[in-house]
Amino acid sequence: MILVTGASGTLGRPLTRLLAEAGADVHGLSRRTRAPEDGVTWHKGDLRTGEGLDAALAGAETVVHCASEPLRMKRDLPAARLLIDAARRQGAPHLIYISIVGVDKIPYRYYMTKYAVERLIEGSGLPYTILRTTQFHTLPYMALDAVTKVPGVIALPKGLRDQPIDVGEVAERLAELALAGGPARRVDDMGGPEVLTAEEMARAYLKARGLRRPVRVPLPLPGRAGRGFREGHHLAPGHAVGRRTWQEFLDERHPRP
């Protein structure tokens, strides 16, 4: 039995589908009451309060922890504590955590929290596996969607690059780690197939959407976190194992007539 936290999220959805297709007994945690679905048994629970965690974890051999609140990032650390405590009470399952490349090098708040969660898991005494990946395609896509809602020039940070990866490929890797069974501690980072500048990504995005907008890169990201991103600590060019490119992702979202 495999429990996926954040099973309703961008990553959780393809992950639970792959696990169910592989014949696993897949359980998902959500704050909402959800109707049973093909291959997924849902548990209502909240990592903020601890509600429902023991029941969701009962009988789990593996937990894939994908739940997160990036906009209320401080909550992720106490949430991980509650999850670990419940896991200890429920037979110490293998805990798999999805993290981000560069969390130990870039002092950006969300990354600092994710790194603290990594360390908590490493010191938990539970069998664990941690996978760090670069940004999913959906993240820069959402950011570009937001900036193009405002009319006029699109201003992007100077010197910012990204190595976006397909969320389905990340789900495949997590499913492989979950189904293989054994804890593997920190596994190799996983990056998308190519490193692109923010400007290249924005131009491809605009073209895919048929939009004509001027793009400028006036200023670098400020501060120490900005420097970490400029220096590319969030990239994994030595682990460019992803297959699907940014252009392929855009073509699928915006098929040409």
Ligand X SMILES: NC(=O)c1ccc[n+]([C@@H]2O[C@H](COP(=O)([O-])OP(=O)(O)OC[C@H]3O[C@@H](n4cnc5c(N)ncnc54)[C@H](OP(=O)(O)O)[C@@H]3O)[C@@H](O)[C@H]2O)c1
Query: What does the binding site for ligand X look like in residue numbers (CB under 6 A)?
Result: 5-6, 8-12, 29-32, 46-48, 66-69, 79, 98, 100, 114, 133, 135-136, 139
Pick the closer one to ligand X by CB: 98 or 160.
98
Nearest to ligand X of 136, 246 (CB atom): 136
Instruction: Please identify, using beta-carbon distances, which residue of 89 and 216 lies nearer to ligand X.
Output: 89
Contact yes or no for 134/190 (Cβ under 8 A): yes
Residues 6+ apart with CB under 8 A from 49: none
CA end-to-end span of the chain = 44
Q: Cβ 100 to ligand X, closest distance in Å?
A: 4
Shortest distance, position 65 Cβ to ligand X, whole Å: 7
**CB of residue 127 vs ligand X: minimum separation in angstroms?**
19
| Residue 207 contacts residue 144 (beta carbons within 8 Å) | no
Is 12 or 226 the residue whose CB approaches ligand X more closely?
12
Query: Least Å distance between CB 230 and ligand X?
Result: 19
Nearer to ligand X, 11 or 63 (CB): 11
118 burial class (0-12, 13-18, 19+ CB within 10 angstroms)? Answer: buried
* Nearest-CB residue for ligand X: 9
